[in-house]
Structure 1
Amino acid sequence: MINYSFLKNLTTVMIIATLSFLSFSCKSSVSRNVEQAKADDKPKPQANPVYSDLIIKEQSDYLMIPVILPEQNEEQGIDLSFSSRSYEKNNQFSNIIFYHKQDGETHLLLNKKAIITSFDLLEVKVVNKPNTRFWLYRIIDQDTNTDEKFNSEDATIGYLSDLSGKQLQQITPNNTRIISWVVVPSQNAIFLKIIKDSDNDKKFTKQDKTNFVRVNLDKIGMGTEIISDQIEQELKSYIFK
């Protein structure tokens, strides 16, 4: 004979056990989720800037401390045994700190995100006149190929500043790249060869136009292109006819 009372009791026990197991599982899951959420809420350690060696120029009252590009730190690592020359040759920079030798005042060159691909000290020597000195920078600060990051595929713009890193002025047009430059002391000017994305394909190729830009060092500002469209068209008529 079937003991219905026993089966009823057994069923009740099984139901209670199942509910207890589900309750415990839910509590464990919730507990794990809460612990994970707490772990995720903890602030992640902020990376520290990595500095190159001091740049010391006797002609200047300022020391310079280049700040190495964070992406470069992650991709290549930084060997702190490098000499300053190796640092300058192999690294790109996100900013430069200027430190006044006498009073200890410090300030940054840039107030924006950018890549400094190079910087050079220009010295213009003219007879019977004080020497004129500037810093020339090649800087990537525009996402010209629209890939949502700054890299070597973007435009490289020319900037000049005084020796203190102040009075920073853009000297080459947007959407261009510096190829080379030369200082002409007799003109108190700097001439820069540039390439322009003339076909607007967001790339710099052999199909793009080149030109030369003249920057007057007496009054620094955006350079003036030397080769006009008219001269270029006239030249093409002779070469390709």
Structure 2
Amino acid sequence: MVTHQILRKMSAAFVLLAVALSCSSTTTVTQAQKVAEKPTLLQVGYGGLIFDYESEYMMIPVTLSGDEKQAGFPTVSPLYDSYEESRGSGIVGYNMIFYNKNSGQSNILLNRKALISKFEYLLGKQEPENPSEGNVQTNQPKQNRSKKVSSKPQNQLLLFHIIDSDTNADGKLDRADAIIGYLSNLGGKSLQAITPPDTQLMSWVFDENSGGIFLTIRKDSDGDRKFTEKDGIDFVRVNVSKPNVGKEIIDGKTRQELQKILTNSK
């Protein structure tokens, strides 16, 4: 009888111990889950200085640390120390600081969340080489004429390729979304969209003689929220002296005439 009571007490003790260990384990797992679920705090960071000796401004790209773990924040490509190295190098940053080397003043390009996928200067005409200087020895440093910015005020501009809307509704901003062209002055001010919404800027040509930028854009022609080779392209012209969303070069009448000519339709 005594032995039976001892066994019952031992069984009860084991049950209580098992319950206690289970609760402890559950508490530990719950705490670990809370730590794992705690969101990573995003921190603002800065890329290398983008420096152009022929401009009074230098640029500082703005980045985010921890962005590769956050939905909607793609990894930013490595940033470079000069315009020549950085143009066309993937995502430049989430914003841009402009610093005036003479006045010491600075300003921010964007007042909203966005991605800058690319930026380019609108260059002026190349200065022609002087044949008479071909064999003349000089100690003066050779100028990079291809980077010379026109002295005309309306040509002191930057063209930005900016992703600022989740057009395919996948919860993030990336190159699959619309890429809009924006113009600003060399100080990052007077920012103005020049390509239509829900399009992707493909390429552009600047004609200094007419003061026009001619841009190739891709439209979401089939309305599937994707930009593919199946979608149509179009061309718009923008006057740099009065920048605004560009007007299409090919009008409706021309399109109808081409349709008749090429498809033999009436």
CA distance in 2, matches of 1:128, 1:148: 43
Matched, 1:29 2:29: no
1:61 to 33, 56, 60: 56
Alignment of 1:65-144 (within 5 A): 65-68=60-63, 70-71=67-68, 78=78, 84=82, 85-93=84-92, 94-124=94-124, 132-144=155-167
CA distance in 1, matches of 2:228, 2:39: 44
CA distance in 1, matches of 2:6, 2:195: 87
1:59 CA displacement: 4.3
CA distance in 1, matches of 2:122, 2:52: 12
* Contact 1:123-1:131 at 8 Å conserved across structures: no
- SS of the equivalent of 1:148 reads coil
Q: 1:37/1:198 Cα in 2 relative to 1: closer, same or farther (>3 Å)?
A: closer
Q: Which moved more, 1:21-30 or 1:226-235?
A: 21-30
Letter in 2 for 1:90: S
Question: How many matched pairs?
Answer: 233
* Contact 1:124-1:188 at 8 Å conserved across structures: no
Q: 1:133/1:177 Cα in 2 relative to 1: closer, same or farther (>3 Å)?
A: same
- The answer for unaligned runs of 5 or more in structure 2 is 126-149
Q: 1:130/1:117 Cα in 2 relative to 1: closer, same or farther (>3 Å)?
A: closer
CA distance in 2, matches of 1:220, 1:34: 57
- The Cα RMSD (Å) is 3.4
- The answer for unaligned runs of 5 or more in structure 1 is none
1:173 CA displacement: 0.3
CA distance in 2, matches of 1:179, 1:71: 26
**TM-score (norm. length: structure 2):** 0.72
Which of structures 1 and 2 has the bigger CA Rg?
Answer: 1
Alignment of 1:1-241 (within 5 A): 4-7=1-4, 9-18=5-14, 20-22=16-18, 24-25=20-21, 28-29=24-25, 32=28, 36=32, 39=35, 44=40, 46-47=42-43, 49-51=45-47, 53-68=48-63, 70-71=67-68, 78=78, 84=82, 85-93=84-92, 94-124=94-124, 132-241=155-264
